[in-house]
Amino acid sequence: MDINTYEALVISALEDIKGKEIQVINTTRLTALFDRVIIASGDSNRQTRALARNVTDKAREAGQEVISVEGNDTGEWVLVDLGAIVVHIMQPAVRSYYKLEDLWANAPSRLVPANGGIARVAA
């Protein structure tokens, strides 16, 4: 599956469970480990777990490998490693504290509008 299609699948899975503030960071030119970092917020432990579960389910249904899922025990920050895409699902306070977006400030990123689709934020 090409990376843009895979990215759209992950975004759709997050939107299905009402993930908020979905941000896509293109890391292709910065690391050989993965092509995208996708960060989303969930309002509760239960929602972050549900978001992660939906992402893994949709990836597997599409024939993609789920390498690992970390953080399901607390649900404050759940990381889903899909190989080419790493998904961070965090509660707002945790996301605000760690500011992962700042770590990738030099990478192109896009914020997914609440109504769906991708709007350009920074190139």
- Name the CA dihedral angle for 57, 3, 117, 75, rounded to a multiple of 10 degrees: 40
Describe the crossing of helices 45-61 and 3-16 by its angle, rounded to 10 degrees. 140
Within-domain flag for 44: yes
Expressed as residue numbers, the domain containing 29 is 3-107
Condensed to tens digits (0 to 9), the pLDDT of residues 44-57 reads: 999 999 999 999 99
**Stated pTM of the model:** 0.88
In whole angstroms, give the CA distance from residue 2 to residue 4: 6
Condensed to tens digits (0 to 9), the pLDDT of residues 76-118 reads: 999 999 999 999 999 999 999 999 988 888 777 888 887 555 4
Within-domain flag for 119: no
Residue 101: which CATH number?
3.30.460.10
